[in-house]
Amino acid sequence: MSGKPGILEKLFENIASRRREYGLALLEVSLSILLSLIITAFIMILMGYSSDLSLVAYSVMFSKGFDNASYLLSRASPLIFTALAFLYPSLTGLFNIGGEGQLYVGAIASLIIALYTGNSLLALIAGGLAGAALGMLLAVLRVYRNVNEVVAAIMINWALFNISMFAIATYLTDPSIPHLTRQVPDTAKLPLMDLGFLRLNTSFLVALAAAIAGAFLFYRTRLGFAMRVSGLNPLASMIAGFENRKLMLASFALGGTMAGLGGSVLVLGIVHRLDTMMMSLYGYGFLGIGASLLGRNNPIGVVVSSIFLSGLLIGGQWIETRLGLPHQVADLIIGIIVISLAIPFAYHYMKAVLKVRRK
């Protein structure tokens, strides 16, 4: 009996600690959004726009960006994958900026397999494997040749962008529509689920399953624990008997798989064909970095941040069409909001890493 009050006291302390933690996070997010809106309004005034117009722009962005749940969730699906592609390697101390190129190869591999087999599962597997192969290439260069993964990824991204445009324009175009590829067959398209109140794209369910599986891997398995220890303190990881090189290879392969699957769901579930200028693919890999930081390096948080960021992107398009503002203004608003939201987490994360490494 004497032990029960102590157990209850610890339980209540844990609950209070969690409430304080979540309350602080909510306060940080609220203040970050408020500060970003104030800064953006000030910049718009300096650009010659009225303060009333900035308020109208905010109203349009947040009302129109989130009013169509079906479109919002489908648009967020590839972004969730590219955010996970950055997140998983970052937990082992690596910076995967190669999600853009991994998305390209995943999308093209999925499109080719879908065109020739008509099977969505095979196309998904092909996209994931293509992304994983590219991720492993970056990891091998980093681990065995000590080539900085950021520099290598930037060069490979640009090379793949041009190679992909060449491949699409030369081998995959539709003869009747030369600026587009042939369309994914109906049998290979990811279906829509009619829930009555919502037509849910299956691509979102695939992305959600990947995030849940990643959360289980990193926070409930020995492999995930080893990866996180390796990222926080490589020396302590080696002393504990973990093989840092293998962990780095595994994390980059996993990240590449996520980006490749992002390209797959984009082709199979959303656009169903690619254009010769790569406009339907470009940028998702880079946006995923912002979504990962907004999600506070948590797989489930990434799902929420990707949906939020997708809403901002959709709202930004409405600002351009309804208010006639240039796209630079919409990009400015989105960019400042993302940076403002990411700064508190970046501060806490770096503080935690430095604290662990000092010890």
What's 173's domain CATH number? 1.10.3470
Is it the case that residue 179 has pLDDT exceeding 60? yes
Is it the case that residue 197 has pLDDT exceeding 50? yes
For residues 41 and 54, the answer to whether their CB atoms sit within 8 Å is: yes
Within 10 A of 31 (CB to CB), how many other CB atoms are there? 12
**Phi, psi at residue 177, to the nearest 5°?**
-135, 85
pLDDT of residue 2: 47
For the chain, the domain total comes to 1
pLDDT of residue 11: 52
Which of 280, 268, 265, 113 is CA-nearest to residue 180? 280
Does the reported pTM lie above 0.85? yes
Q: Which helix (H) or strand (E) holds 91?
A: none
For residues 172 and 274, the answer to whether their CB atoms sit within 8 Å is: yes
**Phi, psi at residue 335, to the nearest 5°?**
-60, -45
- Give the C-alpha separation, 264 to 189, whole Å: 10
Q: Which domain holds residue 11?
A: 5-357
pLDDT of residue 1: 45
Its sign, for the CA torsion 237, 241, 246, 252, is negative
The arithmetic mean of pLDDT across residues 24-46, rounded, is 83
The arithmetic mean of pLDDT across residues 142-163, rounded, is 91
Considering the chain, what percentage of its residues have pLDDT values greater than 70? Answer: 91
Q: Which helix (H) or strand (E) holds 181?
A: strand 177-181
pLDDT of residue 40: 87
Q: Which two tokens stand for residue 6?
A: 């102590």
